[in-house]
Amino acid sequence: MLKPYVYRPRSSWVYLVLVVLIGTATAISFATAGRTADAINATLVFIALSIFIWVFLVGPKIVYSVQTLVIHNPFTRVTIGWASVEEFEARFSFTVVTQTKKVSAWAAPAPTKFQTRRIRDADLNRVGSQHRTGHAQESDSNAALELALRYQESATRHNELIELHEVRVNTQALVGVVLGAALLLITFIH
């Protein structure tokens, strides 16, 4: 039986680390130059940017388990039982189609012209795959699709199919965006 697996693009962490490093360096530069007000403003701006990157890039993920597929988007969390899934799409992003709704995952977009992501052997080895999927277009959406098919197959094999479709609002992300916007307003008003 497969263990739960969390899928999110690793590039989002890189963006967050870059913003934090640049923000820290900028604030330190202003502080050492004796420009305390500018250091505080720079810190507030970079905290707001870090919040936005967390909400929109790092926060989105897909959690696979034998019974459910949970898609965490910036403002919603959708839990879908494998029996509720009618089909998967990976053309523009990883999308789960149920009888009532289509849910796209922010964590697994289609590749841009200059950026593709190769599905890692580690992603497939954790879910019991014996082969690479290098034949299709290699992207986040196709990697997410491959993992979803493996978990759905495992749920069918172990008779773990359940009907479930639940949508919840992510209030932490909403609060984060409001806080980030407030920080930006404070810096521009000041």
pLDDT at position 110 is 77
Q: Do 146 and 92 share a structural domain? A: yes
Which residues constitute the domain of residue 117?
61-170
Q: Do 48 and 66 share a structural domain? A: no
5 vs 51, 147, 180, CA distance in Å?
25, 9, 30
Q: What is the pTM of this model?
A: 0.79
Residues (pLDDT < 50) of the chain are 116-118, 130-136
pLDDT at position 136 is 47
**Separation of alpha carbons 27 and 49, rounded Å:** 14
**Separation of alpha carbons 73 and 38, rounded Å:** 34
Q: Do 180 and 157 share a structural domain? A: no
Q: Do 65 and 32 share a structural domain? A: no
Instruction: Give, as one character, the DSSP assignment of residue 97.
Output: E
Q: Do 98 and 54 share a structural domain? A: no
pLDDT at position 184 is 92
Q: Do 104 and 53 share a structural domain? A: no
pLDDT at position 113 is 58
Q: Do 95 and 26 share a structural domain? A: no
Q: Do 101 and 24 share a structural domain? A: no
Q: Do 94 and 40 share a structural domain? A: no
Q: Domain tally for the chain?
A: 2
Q: Do 52 and 110 share a structural domain? A: no
Q: Do 181 and 165 share a structural domain? A: no
Q: Do 99 and 70 share a structural domain? A: yes
134 vs 118, 126, 142, 166, CA distance in Å?
8, 17, 10, 33
Q: Which letter, b or e, does each residue of 135-144 get, where b requires 16 or more Cβ atoms within 10 Å of its Cβ?
A: eeebbbbbbb
Q: From edge to edge, which strands make up the β-sheet containing 61-64?
A: 5-7, 61-64, 68-72, 76-81, 165-169
